[in-house]
């Protein structure tokens, strides 16, 4: 299969870059626990198809399907040139003590079948574990070239500041539940803080699991007509047209993959971004609400 598109990158002032669109793996191989009845071959094939289509940033986590999702990613990427891929995986919030992080990274490497992780992300903040010990371990992994970069996920402004103050490496990204429908990180200032401080925003759940094509939203329809795009394409482009913002989406469906990939290569006008920002119905879910109790990604 020939790549469908060359996915452009966004670059931070510090030199770190990510493609504007990457592939998510939540619910592949199971959810928070492994699903032994899952069609693993279909998941591996979906990841391979995504890479063959031109996607080269793959997001996974130690916590997905008890590590089995990482194994699926490992199997899927086997035949590809590793240096052309950007693999993000995440350490679970219960494993943020120094020794647990080192062990968790080593287990992830084994499951992924690789000898380095491009971006190692703290999946969620854990208020019960001292962040300075956590960041020391993250720094150690970078110093040993086990990981290339350190990232965060679901961290609010205060938590990003604390993590950066405790780290000798630049924190390059913050993964946030951010889309047209969930603008909590915009409302509580996390988006602005990341933009102002050279941190890439990796917006997760960009199509809110297909919500935008499942319901009619008049204001979105208007934008779709103007650009001749589908609601999912407009929703994804709304994200990637914003400063320091890229996204990751998961699909097992080839038509969805083609649709989502065509969200890149064009840019929504600033006025239209603002129009949707101001008028699309928002569910006010702030980063502050992301607690350990909300770990289940639903």
Residues touching ligand NAP: how many (CB under 6 A)?
26
> Is residue 159 a contact point for ligand NAP (CB under 6 A)?
no
What is the torsion angle, in degrees rounded to the nearest 10, for the CA atoms of residue 164, residue 249, residue 35 and residue 114? -60
Secondary structure element (H or E) that encloses residue 122, with its range? strand 117-122
> Is residue 252 a contact point for ligand NAP (CB under 6 A)?
yes
Please list every residue from 210 through 249 that binds ligand NAP, using CB under 6 A. 210, 213, 232, 248-249
Q: Is 134 helix (H, G, I), strand (E, B) or coil?
A: helix
Residue in 75, 175, 183, 229 binding ligand NAP, rule: CB under 6 A:
175
Closest CA to 172 of 10, 14, 23, 7: 14
Residue in 259, 261, 280, 287 binding ligand NAP, rule: CB under 6 A:
259
Residue nearer to ligand NAP on the CB measure, 154 or 167: 154
Residue in 237, 238, 260, 272 binding ligand NAP, rule: CB under 6 A:
260
The nearest distance, CB 271 to ligand NAP, in angstroms, is 25
Residue in 114, 208, 237, 244 binding ligand NAP, rule: CB under 6 A:
208
Residue nearer to ligand NAP on the CB measure, 144 or 285: 285
The nearest distance, CB 70 to ligand NAP, in angstroms, is 11
Q: Based on the number of CB atoms within 10 Å of its own CB, is 231 exposed (0-12), middle (13-18) or buried (19 or more)? A: buried
Q: Output the residue with the shortest Cβ distance to ligand NAP.
A: 24
Report d(CA 101, CA 59) in Å as an integer.
18
Whole-angstrom CA distances from 218 to 149, 232, 273 are 41, 14, 15
Residue 133 in tokens: 């010990």
> Is residue 156 a contact point for ligand NAP (CB under 6 A)?
no
> Is residue 153 a contact point for ligand NAP (CB under 6 A)?
yes
Query: Residue 177's CB: how many other CB atoms inside 10 A?
Result: 23
Whole-angstrom CA distances from 103 to 120, 140, 234 are 13, 12, 41
The nearest distance, CB 31 to ligand NAP, in angstroms, is 11
* Helix 68-77 with 98-112: angle, nearest 10 deg: 40
Q: Which stretch binds ligand NAP (CB under 6 A): 126-134, 190-198, 205-213, 264-272?
A: 205-213
Per DSSP, 65 falls in state G
Closest CA to 180 of 211, 149, 140: 211
> Is residue 188 a contact point for ligand NAP (CB under 6 A)?
no
What is the maximal distance between C-alpha atoms in the chain? Answer: 53
> Is residue 48 a contact point for ligand NAP (CB under 6 A)?
no
Residue nearer to ligand NAP on the CB measure, 13 or 284: 284
Residue nearer to ligand NAP on the CB measure, 70 or 271: 70
Which residues are at the interface with ligand NAP (CB under 6 A)? Answer: 24-26, 59, 153-154, 175, 204-210, 213, 232, 248-253, 256, 259-260, 297
């Amino acid at each position: 299969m020939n790549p469908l598109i060359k996915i452009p990158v966004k670059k931070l002032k510090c030199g770190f870059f990510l493609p504007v669109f990457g592939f998510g793996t939540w619910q592949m191989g199971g959810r928070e626990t492994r699903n032994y009845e899952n069609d693993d071959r279909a998941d591996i094939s979906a990841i391979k198809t995504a890479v063959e289509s031109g996607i080269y940033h793959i997001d996974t986590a130690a916590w997905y399907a008890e590590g089995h999702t990482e194994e699926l990613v490992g199997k899927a990427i086997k035949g590809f040139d590793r240096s052309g891929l950007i693999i993000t995986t995440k350490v679970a919030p219960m494993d943020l003590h120094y020794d647990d992080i080192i062990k968790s990274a080593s287990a992830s490497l084994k499951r992924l079948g690789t000898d380095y992780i491009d971006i190692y992300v703290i999946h969620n903040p854990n208020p019960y574990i001292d962040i300075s010990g956590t960041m020391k371990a993250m720094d150690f992994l970078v110093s040993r070239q086990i990981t290339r970069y350190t990232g965060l996920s679901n961290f609010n402004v205060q938590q990003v500041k604390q993590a950066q103050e405790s780290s000798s490496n630049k924190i390059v990204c913050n993964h946030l539940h951010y889309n047209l429908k969930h603008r909590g990180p915009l409302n509580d200032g996390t988006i602005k803080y990341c933009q102002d401080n050279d941190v890439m925003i990796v917006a997760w759940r960009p199509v809110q699991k297909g919500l935008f094509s499942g319901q009619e939203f008049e204001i979105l329809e208007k934008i779709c007509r103007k650009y001749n795009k589908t609601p999912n394409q407009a929703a994804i482009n709304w994200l990637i047209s914003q400063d320091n913002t890229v996204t990751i989406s998961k699909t097992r469906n080839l038509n969805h993959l083609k649709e989502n990939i065509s969200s890149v290569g064009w840019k929504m006008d600033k006025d239209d971004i603002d129009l949707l920002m101001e008028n699309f119905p928002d569910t006010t879910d702030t980063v502050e609400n992301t607690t350990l109790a909300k770990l289940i990604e639903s």
